[in-house]
Amino acid sequence: MKNNDWKDRLGVMYSTNPDFNYNTGEESEEETLPKEKQQLRISLDKRNRGGKAVTLITGFRGTSDDLATLGKMLKVKCGVGGSAKDGEIIVQGDHRQKVLDILQKRDIVKVVLFNYPLC
């Protein structure tokens, strides 16, 4: 059945074409890649955070629900707060090595660690 809700079409001129499909501007989310194909980057970020360090995980390809699930799992395992939005997971504090170990145990093999001091 066609979705012909008039509230979605406010501001559109009348069309005489019976097959006209109004674009509401909603974009479909990208499907989540398998764990083996995810290419995550782990880095330490201190910019615009009041001098506080956060572990930043970027490069996640998938739905926002899967991103939130992964972010929640990482925050619980590290025992800290954070957020997951816009394709990034923020974990409060410097937990780069711990996050790397957790992701490798979950079979996410393509993980790169950035800004790690060489000892």
pLDDT tens across 19-33, in order?
A: 777 666 666 677 887
Range of the domain at 74: 32-113
For 23-71, the three-class secondary structure string (H helix, E strand, C coil) is: CCCCCCCCCCCCHHHCEEEEEEECCCCCCCCEEEEECCCCCHHHHHHHH
Q: Are 59 and 39 in contact (CB under 8 A)?
A: yes
Q: How many domains does the chain have?
A: 1
25 domain residue, yes or no? no
Per-residue pLDDT, 54: 93
7 domain residue, yes or no? no
Per-residue pLDDT, 78: 93
Q: Are 38 and 61 in contact (CB under 8 A)?
A: yes
> In which residue ranges of the chain is pLDDT below 70?
1-15, 22-28, 109, 115-119
Q: pTM for the whole thing?
A: 0.71
Per-residue pLDDT, 30: 76
66 domain residue, yes or no? yes
What distance in Å separates the CA atoms of residue 43 and residue 58, rounded to the nearest whole number? 8
91 domain residue, yes or no? yes
pLDDT tens across 67-83, in order?
A: 999 999 999 999 999 99
118 domain residue, yes or no? no
68 domain residue, yes or no? yes
13 domain residue, yes or no? no
From the CA atom positions of the chain, what is the Rg in Å?
20
90 domain residue, yes or no? yes
Per-residue pLDDT, 118: 46
Tell me the CATH number at 95: 3.30.780.10
What distance in Å separates the CA atoms of residue 97 and residue 60, rounded to the nearest whole number? 18
